[in-house]
Structure 1
Amino acid sequence: MNIEISQPANLPSRFGMFKVKAFKEGAKEHLVIAKEPFGEVVNVRIHSECLTGDAIGSLKCDCRDQLEASLKYIEEHNGMVIYLRQEGRNIGLLNKINAYALQDKGFDTIEANHQLGFKADERTYEIVDFILKHYGITKINLLTNNPKKLMGLKGAQIVNRIPIVIKANKYNEDYLKVKKEQMGHLLDK
């Protein structure tokens, strides 16, 4: 794995003061947003990019809410958010918008991905193992509802899963239902 790594930099944000570092993997540039000092067990959120949710505030998903809850948690308890450039469960922005168009016609998120020739979730997490090794992290508390993330990490022991509880809205109720019932997401209510 040929990865370029930036220098660390300060990032004051509305969630707190963080250190950031970028990891360039081919054409994808991932970001670590960290608050130190880390303990023996590090709080980690693996967050996949969602331009429509994270930047625009789309109500069709819970991505921005999960990101904001994670940044607040990391500010309070230290740790890191690993922001992966895997837009639309790694199908890319163009295909994600095409999937949205299919959803407008009644397909759920998984059906829409299948119509476009993709699996329900195309994301991978090898870069996370690389990042954790880079920081010397071997034990983590993982902020997630996604069981694939619990199984996808090889380089660190997951000591605890910290659920991210987000209240549904009328636009993302079906989306969250599909995540829970078809993708096995651990949506604690």
Structure 2
Amino acid sequence: MAEVRARVQLNVGQHSHIPAEIVSFSGLQDGQEHVALIFNQAESEQEIPLIRMHSECLTGDVFHSSRCDCGEQLNECIETMHQQGGILLYLRQEGRGIGLYNKIDAYVLQSQGMNTYEANNHLGFDDDLRDFSDAVLMLKAMGLSHVKLMTNNPKKLNALRNAGITVDEVVGTEAHVKAGNRSYLETKVKHGDHMLNIKKISKSE
């Protein structure tokens, strides 16, 4: 079982300085340094807190790549939790678990016509190698067994429920369409069963 290791106050956000508490853990299973960001003291003040499991995406979160919507989803989450409170689990699982260099190789294949899943498969990986077991340990270390989950990915929902975390509500994220990622979003809906409004995607270009 993971334990809370340390807590530090900081400010986050793309356009504003939003106060948050960053939490580290000991006893996680995969050897990665996952962290939780707590907004508006959500852990103690909300009976059923809003949470998001966000997998690291250096190209999207930091460099604002046009290939995905990860950075926009992260910003949406931070702004929402600033208003409502919540807990962001930032998981070190770059490229759906294949790592940064392999993700860049997958980008090359996508430039040649493959979709995001086909590119991963071509490199010898499954569609999605992410494991959310440590996210479950992090939630349990913070004493949480009931949550509201901010996601459009059914895999995350099923991972929590299968691990005994009760998800009382699913809060969907917006369809963040920009030049270069429309096909990516449509592929996530068609191939990955992501809960995005495909009609909204089609109208948002």
| Common fold by TM > 0.5 | yes
The residue number in structure 2 matching 1:181 is 190
Q: Structure 1 unaligned segments of length 5 or more: list them.
A: none
SS of residue paired to 2:34: strand
CA distance in 2, matches of 1:101, 1:113: 11
Moved over 6 A (4+): none
8 Å CA contact 2:4–2:142 kept in 1: the answer is no
CA distance in 1, matches of 2:4, 2:124: 33
Q: Structure 2 unaligned segments of length 5 or more: list them.
A: 201-205
Q: 1:108-156 deviations in whole A, cap 9, x for unaligned?
A: 1010000000011110100111011111111111000000001011131
The residue number in structure 2 matching 1:32 is 36
The residue number in structure 2 matching 1:41 is 48
CA distance in 1, matches of 2:3, 2:169: 30
CA distance in 2, matches of 1:178, 1:43: 27
Asked if 1:160 corresponds to 2:169, the answer is: yes
**CA 1:76–1:15 in structure 2 vs 1: closer, same or farther (change >3 Å)?**
farther
CA distance in 2, matches of 1:96, 1:169: 20
8 Å CA contact 2:20–2:38 kept in 1: the answer is yes
8 Å CA contact 1:65–1:166 kept in 2: the answer is no
Q: CA deviation at 1:15?
A: 4.8
Asked if 1:23 corresponds to 2:38, the answer is: no
CA distance in 2, matches of 1:86, 1:4: 20
Number of equivalences = 188
The residue number in structure 2 matching 1:9 is 8
Which amino acid in 2 is paired with 1:75?
A: H
Residue of structure 2 aligned with 1:143, choices 143, 150, 157: 150
CA distance in 2, matches of 1:164, 1:15: 22
The residue number in structure 2 matching 1:83 is 90
Task: Provide the identity percentage.
Answer: 37
List aligned pairs for 1:59-138, cutoff 5 A.
59-138=66-145
8 Å CA contact 1:133–1:155 kept in 2: the answer is no
8 Å CA contact 1:15–1:71 kept in 2: the answer is no
Q: 1:95-118 deviations in whole A, cap 9, x for unaligned?
A: 101100111111110100000000
CA distance in 2, matches of 1:4, 1:94: 31
CA distance in 1, matches of 2:146, 2:103: 33
CA distance in 2, matches of 1:168, 1:58: 12
Q: Greater helix share, 1 or 2?
A: 2
CA distance in 1, matches of 2:38, 2:74: 13
The residue number in structure 2 matching 1:58 is 65
CA distance in 2, matches of 1:15, 1:33: 14
CA distance in 2, matches of 1:19, 1:130: 18
Q: CA deviation at 1:5?
A: 4.5
Q: CA deviation at 1:166?
A: 2.8
TM-score, scaled relative to structure 1: 0.94
Deviates more, 1:79-88 or 1:148-157: 148-157
Which amino acid in 1 is paired with 2:143?
A: G
SS of residue paired to 2:46: coil
SS of residue paired to 1:176: helix
